[in-house]
A = this chain, B = another copy of it.
Amino acid sequence: MKDVDLKFSDGLIPVIVQDVENEEVLMMAYMNEEALKRTLDTGKAHYWSRSRGKLWLKGEESGNFQSVREIRVDCDGDTILLKVKQIGGACHKGYRSCFYRRMNGDIVSEKVFDPSKVYRGEN
């Protein structure tokens, strides 16, 4: 399934998700072994939702799927970097990236979709 030994902590590994087209950091999420396996098998990003305690195909409700183009692993084998083609936006607040604001609260991005129209309960 994989050649680099990955270190899961409490069954999870953090995943940085980056837009393969413009290099924007879109979000951070977590995978368990099963989420990683499904990601590798399908080419679509799957995560483990810590808040909902369940496996999660990104975009399953919103349609905002992430097609995985490249997977990198860090030097310690305890973080994954996923380069994806992002459909729509990654953020459940309607922005393309979850990092749409600065520390001081300034919003530095435009919304790309209306969350109330694409989510019934996901996120």
> Which residue numbers of A lie inside 8 Å of B, CB to CB?
2-4, 14, 16, 18, 22-25, 27-28, 70-76, 79, 81, 91-93, 95, 98-105, 108
DSSP class of A's interface residues: helix, strand, loop or mixed?
A: loop
Q: Can you report 15 residue pairs joining A to B where beta carbons are below 8 Å apart?
A: A3-B103, A3-B105, A4-B101, A4-B102, A4-B103, A16-B16, A16-B25, A22-B23, A23-B24, A25-B25, A71-B102, A72-B102, A75-B92, A75-B95, A79-B99
Contacting residues, chain B, for A18 (C-beta < 8 A): 25
Contacting residues, chain B, for A99 (C-beta < 8 A): 72-74, 79, 81
Contact A74:B3 (CB < 8 A) given known A14-B14, A81-B99, A99-B81 = no
State the CA gap A108–B72 with chains docked (Å): 9
When C-beta atoms are compared, the residue in chain B nearest to A24 turns out to be B23
The one of B4, B74, B91 in contact with A104, judged by C-beta atoms closer than 8 angstroms, is: B4
